[in-house]
Amino acid sequence: MRNPLTDIFGVDSNVAVLRELVRHGAALSNSDIQNRSGLSKSSVRLGIISLEQSGIVVSEGSRATKLHRFNETHFLAPQIAALYDAEKNRFTEIIDTVRNSAGDRRSLLKSLWIYGSVARKEDGLESDLDIGLIADKENLLGVVETVRENLREPATRLGFLPNVVGLDLEDVAQLAQQADPWWSTTIQDAVVLVGDRPENVPNHGGSNVHG
């Protein structure tokens, strides 16, 4: 009676299951929730049981075709939905801020991307936001400084720590030629925000990107 949020948000699986149901806005099966959330089958099952008991999730159908949905009539439903909206909007704003962080130097970018745990969706509270960019050698320092400066205020306001790594075309070619492990992992993780994929940039010579 006094602290229902303890039961609703008590374990990670509850939070993750509820997130998918709120964001989807309609009924989902256990397997749908599992695919969307990355949780194990047992974690989804236990999360659903707990959330049903709290009344924030309702289920319909037979065991074989059972579907679950966020209970919008629950007394805490508006506040919980607002929390998940705020979470989603914050991340969208972070990505948009990084995408636009080069400002009037954006045309000098060959590529801008995020990589690491955030790109892999494995980040935790202590994770940095790893950002890579490629520019011509003569422009690289200025572009990196601009990106870092433009991220300073939003990083404080939105609560993230940007880690910006700048490369020129020679750096990229050398890393690729040496099959550098960091480079291999970086391009595997890369979520491109501006321009070409980083491993493809040297193939386009010196042309600027206006993405």
- For residue range 176-196, list pLDDT tens digits in order: 999 999 999 999 999 999 999
Distances (CA, A) of 37 to 8, 22, 80: 17, 12, 18
| CA–CA separation, 80 and 56 (whole Å) | 9
Pick the CATH number of 4-75 from 1.10.10.10, 3.40.50.300, 1.20.1250.20, 1.20.120.420: 1.10.10.10
The model's pTM is 0.87
pLDDT of residue 16: 96
Residue range(s) occupied by CATH 3.30.460.10 in the chain: 90-204
pLDDT of residue 207: 42
β-pair partners for 132? 113, 165
DSSP-assigned letter for residue 102: T
Other CB atoms within 10 A of residue 203 CB: 7
Is the pLDDT assigned to residue 211 strictly greater than 70?
no
Question: Looking at domain 90-204, does it have CATH number 3.30.70.1230?
Answer: no
Tokens of 122: 């494995």
Phi/psi region, residue 196 (left: phi>0; alpha: psi -120 to 50; beta: rest), is beta
204 confidence band (pLDDT: 50, 70, 90): low
pLDDT of residue 202: 77
pLDDT of residue 205: 47
**For residue 83, how far is the Cα from the chain centroid?**
17
Q: Spell out the alpha helix ranges (H) of 58-180.
A: 77-99, 137-158, 169-177
Is the pLDDT assigned to residue 206 strictly greater than 60?
no
Is the pLDDT assigned to residue 169 strictly greater than 90?
yes
Residue range(s) occupied by CATH 1.10.10.10 in the chain: 4-75
pLDDT of residue 65: 85
